[in-house]
Amino acid sequence: MSVWVLHPSHFTTVVLFALFASTVFGITQRETPRNMIRYGIYCFVLFVAAAIALSWLMYFIAR
Amino acid sequence: MRYSQKCMATEENKTAAGVGSQPASQEGFVYLPLIAGWLVPGGGHFLLRKWGRGALLAAAILGMFVLGLAMQGKVYASAHDILDILGLVGDLGNGLPYVISRMLGLGDVQVQVTTADYGTRFIVVAGLLNVIAAVDAHNLRTGRKS
């Protein structure tokens, strides 16, 4: 089972999380394929941007 | 005063207008896509012949679940406090993948490394996303969404 153990970085985890969640959000929250893709990309960008912004915020709070 | 049934909703006119006739996918138990979607990620959409959407949902949800297991995430088996209960409810949203992982003893019992904490969240969120996908399949079945 040790072959299947993964230790991705925090950022990789954020990107993977954003990718999977925005895929499901895009498909389920919009009706036409075009709007699904647009909403999926919108959610992905928001997920990643929010994670980066909050990370910098916490970096400065910790100092 | 004379009344005419020419344009009224008689059985003949209903049939001619196509009222009451449903496609094959719209017949049967109305909650079947919801239950199938919960048990098998994307299953509800496959049942409604939405192959592309079903495949993408299955890939996203199963991918997240498998990555969570690979990150040594915890699979909740019992609940001792409120956070455990919430985690267990999220895990149960995965349907059959959760049952299979429990049967095979996959996932860690205790979180020991940082990535295992991420993995635990991946498994819980995969279950919650699966519930959203199953409800979407139900909405497609009832005609609330096209």
- Range(s) of the domain holding residue A36: 30-63
Contacts of A31 in chain B (CB under 8 A): 145-146
Q: Report yes or no on A55 lying in a domain.
A: yes
Q: Which of B71, B72, B133 sits opposite A24 (nearest CB)?
A: B133
Q: Report yes or no on A21 lying in a domain.
A: no
Helices first, then strands: H and E counts in chain A: 2, 0
User: Residue type for B140, please?
Assistant: L
Lowest mean pLDDT among A36-50, B12-26, B132-146: B12-26
d(CA A35, CA B40): 26
Q: Report yes or no on A25 lying in a domain.
A: no
Q: Is the dihedral of CA B126, B129, B135, B137 positive or negative?
A: negative
pLDDT digits (tens, 9 = 90+) for A21-58: 999 999 999 999 999 999 999 999 999 999 999 999 99
Tokens of B89: 């409810």
Q: Give per-residue burial for B71-92: e unless 16+ CB within 10 Å, then b.
A: bbbbbbeeeeeeeeeebbebbb
Residue A3: the pLDDT is: 55
pLDDT band at residue A15 under the 50/70/90 scheme: very high
**Does B70 reach chain A within 8 Å, measured CB to CB?**
yes
Asked if pLDDT for residue B26 goes beyond 80, the answer is no
Q: Report yes or no on A22 lying in a domain.
A: no
- Sketch the domain layout of chain B as residue ranges: 29-142
**Does B102 reach chain A within 8 Å, measured CB to CB?**
no
Strand ranges inside chain B, DSSP E: none
pLDDT digits (tens, 9 = 90+) for B1-17: 455 555 455 555 444 44
**What pTM, to 2 d.p., does this model score?**
0.84
Q: Report yes or no on A3 lying in a domain.
A: no
Greater pLDDT, B108 or B102: B102
Residue B9: the pLDDT is: 53
- ipTM for this model: 0.89
Query: What is the distance in angstroms between the Cα of A24 and the nearest Cα belonging to chain B?
Result: 6
Q: Total structural domains in chain A?
A: 1
Residue of A nearest to B62 (CA): A20
